[in-house]
Amino acid sequence: MSVPSNSRPQRLIVGISGASGAVYGVRLLELLRDTPIETHLVVSKSALITLAHETEMSWSQIKTLADVSYINQDIGAAIASGSFKTMGMIIAPCSIRSLSEIASGVTSTLLTRAADVVLKERRRLVLMVRETPLHRNHLRSMTELAELGAVIAPPVPAFYAKPTSLDDMIDHTVGRVLDMFDIELGVVRRWRERPERVATLDEVIDG
């Protein structure tokens, strides 16, 4: 396990929006629970419904995975202020509604306010956007956020890692997001990290 040096605040905000894929947020919290990183959790109202449907976990159960948790209406929370230092924020998954609100800069909930604060303070914001297909306005919002410094990281499985289960795919995806914060928890199978035979182009053509 590898985490950033103590020269930076060891606090990471985890947001869960109402998009499908709530398991990504849950797994993030599970992986970070036994690290020195202090997790601050905020969940949208619609995410509570998605969590109950996709993971069968209640809000009281989800809260136990984080060091600190907030209700989405608490706009006076610590994470709503730039003076409260953090490593940044991951929204996993990130709905198009949350994405669009963050891109507009007009935030109405703690989830989107915290993301806006991370952007204005020039900290790392990673959005695991879970929507498809995408129309032009969706893509424009993503472009605007990318230009502001956010990382758009859709939860796309990496088949080169040869996953054997859904858990493998989730862990790899979450691990790659944690890479954005220099957090190494040993859940990513990295390309060519281990000695393995990879066919050459000539071999593939010759069949």
CA 1 to chain centre: 19
Q: Which two tokens stand for residue 84?
A: 């409260």
How far is 58 from 48, CA to CA, in rounded Å?
A: 7
To the question of whether residue 20 is assigned a binding role by annotation, the answer is yes
Lowest pLDDT segment from 5-19, 23-37, 38-52? 5-19
To the question of whether residue 190 is assigned a binding role by annotation, the answer is no
Torsion of Cα atoms, 55 then 56 then 61 then 62, to 10°: 30
Residue 35 lies in a domain: yes
Domain count, the chain: 1
Q: Which structural domain range is residue 180 located in?
A: 11-206
Residue 30 lies in a domain: yes
Strand 151-152 versus strand 88-94 pairing type? unpaired
How far is 172 from 166, CA to CA, in rounded Å?
A: 10
To the question of whether residue 27 is assigned a binding role by annotation, the answer is no
Q: Which two tokens stand for residue 171?
A: 């862990």
Residue 6 lies in a domain: no
Residue 9 predicted with pLDDT over 90:
no
To the question of whether residue 115 is assigned a binding role by annotation, the answer is no
Residue 179 lies in a domain: yes
To the question of whether residue 18 is assigned a binding role by annotation, the answer is yes
To the question of whether residue 130 is assigned a binding role by annotation, the answer is yes
Q: Full-prediction pTM beyond 0.85? A: yes
Residue 46 lies in a domain: yes
To the question of whether residue 165 is assigned a binding role by annotation, the answer is no
Residue 1 lies in a domain: no
Residue 3 lies in a domain: no
The CATH number given to whatever domain includes residue 152 is 3.40.50.1950
Contact (CB, 8 A) for 69 and 41: yes
193 pLDDT tier (thresholds 50, 70, 90): confident
To the question of whether residue 108 is assigned a binding role by annotation, the answer is no
To the question of whether residue 95 is assigned a binding role by annotation, the answer is yes
Residue 39 lies in a domain: yes
195 pLDDT tier (thresholds 50, 70, 90): low
pLDDT in tens, 129-175: 999 999 999 999 999 999 999 999 999 999 988 999 999 999 999 99
H-type helices in 64-159, by residue range? 96-104, 110-120, 136-148
- Which residues are registered as beta bridge partners of 16? 43
